[in-house]
Chain A
Amino acid sequence: MERSLAETHVATSVGLAHHFDDVEQQREAGTLGMWAFLVTEVMFFGGLFLAYILYRSKYPVEFAVASNSLNVTMGFINTLVLICSSLTMALGVYFSQVGNRSLLILFLILTMILGLTFLVIKGVEYHEKYVEHHIPVRFQTYQFKWEPRVSEAGGAREESSRAVDTGHVEMFFWLYFAMTGVHALHMIIGLGILTTLVLMARRGRFTPEYHSPVELSGLYWHFVDIVWIFLFPLLYLIGAHLH
């Protein structure tokens, strides 16, 4: 009894919680827990992707036309930004493993800057949509509006003006805002986690023996990036053939 108390006391210094036998068990539990959590996240996004698959297969033309009105350049830049943030996050995890505190903090902050960049660009895009009345709500002061663009190529315009149902276009934008909105929410939560990690790192809480919070947050961050890797082509690129 006394021995185990003493052990606990020693163990605390390397971040071992009292109910685990050793650091290895604790690390294993944390990793499994994070993967299980990511499975729930997959199921959460799964509902949105199911709705997307259903309605895109029902209304392919409208989805292509609506997708075409998104700002592909900004979407592409954001994709690059997120891929880079995954790299900086991975480097952060690496430097937490080797115990280099200053580089760990540097790469965590770089990841945060890239994450913020993504959100700012996303905000600019949302603002564009707001100005164009592409936000799919039916308020008295604000209504969704859709006018086929004149700049479209002849064939596409002909096709779109013939068959496009404004309601189905609105459905695309509804899914666009729901999916990117939920994704952006995850990014914001990720930034909160990164802030905590930076504060913990500054206090020297991470050692080569104990760095699982960084590793697990890395898993989360990569997951959120991967979601975007799916969202970008599904939302931005399906209308590309209309050009």
Chain B
Amino acid sequence: MQSVAEVVPPRTHYLNATYGVKSWLLTTDHKRIALLYLTSVTFFFFLGGLFAVLIRLELLTPQGDLVQAETYNRLFTMHGVVMVFFFLIPAIPAVLGNFLVPLMIGARDLAFPKINLLSWYIYNVGALFTVIAILSGGVDTGWTFYTPYSSTYSNGNVILTGIGVFITGFSSILTGLNFIVTIHTMRAPGLTWFRLPLFIWSHYATSLIMILGTPVIAVTILLLALERIAHIGIFDPAVGGDPVLFQHLFWFYSHPAVYIMVLPAMGVISELIANMSRKNIFGYKFVAFASLAIAVFGFLVWGHHLFVSTQSVYAGMVFSVLSYAVAIPSAVKVFNWTATLYRGSISYDTPMLYAFGFIGFFIIGGMTGLFLAALGVDVHVTDTYFVVAHFHYIMVGGTIMGYLGGLHYWWPKITGRLYPEAWARFGALVVFVGFNLTFFPQFLLGYMGMPRRYYAYPPEFQVLNVMSSAGASILGVGYLIPMIYLMWSMRYGPHAPPNPWGAFGLEWRTSSPPPTQNFEQTPVVTWEAYEFRPREEMDLLGVRDVLDQTLRPRPVGGEGD
């Protein structure tokens, strides 16, 4: 059909190597498993989005009129559970990470391909339990499952949902374990640690959190479920138990889990910023170590969720200071990205638009996080829409922007097709506008005192709530646009050359889409992670051919061949 003249698509690649449902469901190819995950997380993204639609519809008016209070509680709980555990946590690592980690380090597959497939099945079994819990009435505890409400009083399906989250946790552990072992043992010859792309560093840091944090939430949910079954347990004051212990254990995982969501996105952004401004990342080692620092500090800050939960004020002070400390490596990343952009040859293609969005949202989300880490301010805004807006700026504005940016950037590699650039830019713009209109008013609402998790509110909050709901509808359209044109491009998009962006990275040195074994022969790496230089110097050094794709036409919407 269509093909770029000089690029003949490889006759067999991982997508057409074998056919049939069985060849997909029993595959051990990391690239195919990434696509399996892509379909699963996309489904849960839209399911979680459906709950968000209902929440925003209810909040359109001050009265609780669309649904009952009880139903509303279930809606925001299921929104949180589905989005956090079934979309945000697996999204980037299990889809982009799964696809790219072996390619970026020049390996033929992850270290444990069968365990990789197993993790997808575990994810789906956990998802099944959660879907059954949703269909049989849902759960109303909030995604945090705080005791004693969850253990004693709630009449929702706490156990079923808990089992779902518990099981899905193991898929996350297995993914993290696979990444750590793969990055340690399977790097191509010459690919030293400091030649690794920053995407790999951030996934390594993420994997550490996954294997250290996830088992703690697993045992916590297990104890909660046992407590519900036995009608007595370690969080129950009747036997001298402490319900706040649950909060400690829960946030010991769930705060680092925020970094599971955002660190991979930071890895994506590092790749986008360097390759699309055609400059070496500023302070490579600082960005790399910042990922590890975030992973380590992330484990020491959980107490900032308990400032008003009877935690001692001295513990609060320590947690407050430590929470401020996390801002340092986060800021290092933002400053280094900005410094990379400085005098770079920036292209404004879609992935870069998402990257710009990410940086802006991450700054707003991160700075408001500092408000929340301040003991005094936090008392004022605890459990208000300020908190909701803050973490949506990180989770939606950070993770989903990184996810979509990465998905567009590597789409030619994943599918072998180019997406329509004009539509994609339009979609990114819609997402940007919709996102800000949805969540910025929530900062104001929260600061004025509107509490979260209520289905009705005083009439004076209506204007901002209507703005937020209007923004949510725009945001929803913004997410549907890429959904449509990406699916369209899989069949009708022009064929992609091996390196449409002229980017560094081993994944661009194999065909698009890659063959099942990734590389015709194992690459030997003799260069740094990013080696952009002025063109004249490249010619002089004879390294131009390495980047010969640079001169190829950029993918532009509608431009077929």
CB neighbours (8 Å) of A150 from chain B are none
The answer on a CB contact under 8 Å between A174 and B177 is: no
The answer on a CB contact under 8 Å between A136 and B239 is: yes
The answer on a CB contact under 8 Å between B232 and A43 is: no
Task: State the Cβ distance, A35 to closest chain B Cβ, in Å.
Answer: 9
Residue of A at shortest CB range from B217?
A47
Tell whether A33 pairs with B108 under 8 Å between CB atoms, given A1-B520, A51-B223, A54-B242: no
The answer on a CB contact under 8 Å between A19 and B113 is: yes
Complex alpha-carbon distance, A39 and B234, angstroms: 24
Q: Which of B181-189, B269-277, B362-370, B398-406 lies on the face that meets chain A?
A: B181-189
B210-265 CB contacts (< 8 Å) to partner A: 211-216, 218-220, 222-223, 226, 229-234, 238-242, 245, 249
Task: State the Cβ distance, B126 to closest chain A Cβ, in Å.
Answer: 16
Task: State the Cβ distance, A186 to closest chain B Cβ, in Å.
Answer: 13
The answer on a CB contact under 8 Å between A40 and B238 is: no
Task: State the Cβ distance, B351 to closest chain A Cβ, in Å.
Answer: 29
CB neighbours (8 Å) of B297 from chain A are none
A139: CB under 8 A from chain B? yes
Complex alpha-carbon distance, A50 and B253, angstroms: 14
A1-47 CB contacts (< 8 Å) to partner B: 1, 4, 17-21, 25, 28-29, 32-33, 36-37, 39-41, 43-47
The answer on a CB contact under 8 Å between B231 and A138 is: yes
The answer on a CB contact under 8 Å between A36 and B232 is: no
Interface size on A, residues (CB 8 A): 43
A178: CB under 8 A from chain B? yes
CB neighbours (8 Å) of B349 from chain A are none
Task: State the Cβ distance, A208 to closest chain B Cβ, in Å.
Answer: 22
A171: CB under 8 A from chain B? yes
CB neighbours (8 Å) of B238 from chain A are 167
CB neighbours (8 Å) of A43 from chain B are 211-213, 215-216
CB neighbours (8 Å) of B111 from chain A are 19, 29, 33
CB neighbours (8 Å) of A45 from chain B are 219
The answer on a CB contact under 8 Å between A174 and B233 is: yes
CB neighbours (8 Å) of B232 from chain A are 136-138, 144, 170, 174
CB neighbours (8 Å) of A136 from chain B are 230, 232, 239
Task: State the Cβ distance, B467 to closest chain A Cβ, in Å.
Answer: 42
Complex alpha-carbon distance, A25 and B214, angstroms: 28
The answer on a CB contact under 8 Å between B242 and A168 is: no
Tell whether A40 pairs with B240 under 8 Å between CB atoms, given A29-B186, A138-B230: no
The answer on a CB contact under 8 Å between B211 and A59 is: no
CB neighbours (8 Å) of A37 from chain B are 177, 211
A residues in contact (CB < 8 Å) with B: 1, 4, 17-21, 25, 28-29, 32-33, 36-37, 39-41, 43-48, 50-51, 54-55, 58-59, 136-139, 144, 165, 167-168, 170-171, 174-175, 178, 182
Task: Enumerate the 3 nearest inter-chain pairs by beta-carbon distance, A residue then B residue, closest first.
Answer: A47-B219, A44-B215, A19-B109
Known A28-B185, A43-B212; 6 more pairs at CB < 8 Å: A29-B185, A40-B177, A46-B216, A47-B220, A138-B231, A167-B240
> What are 27 A-B pairs at a CB distance below 8 A?
A1-B520, A18-B109, A19-B107, A21-B522, A25-B186, A32-B185, A33-B111, A33-B177, A36-B181, A36-B211, A37-B177, A39-B212, A40-B173, A40-B212, A40-B215, A43-B212, A44-B215, A48-B223, A50-B249, A54-B242, A55-B241, A59-B240, A138-B230, A170-B232, A171-B241, A175-B234, A178-B223
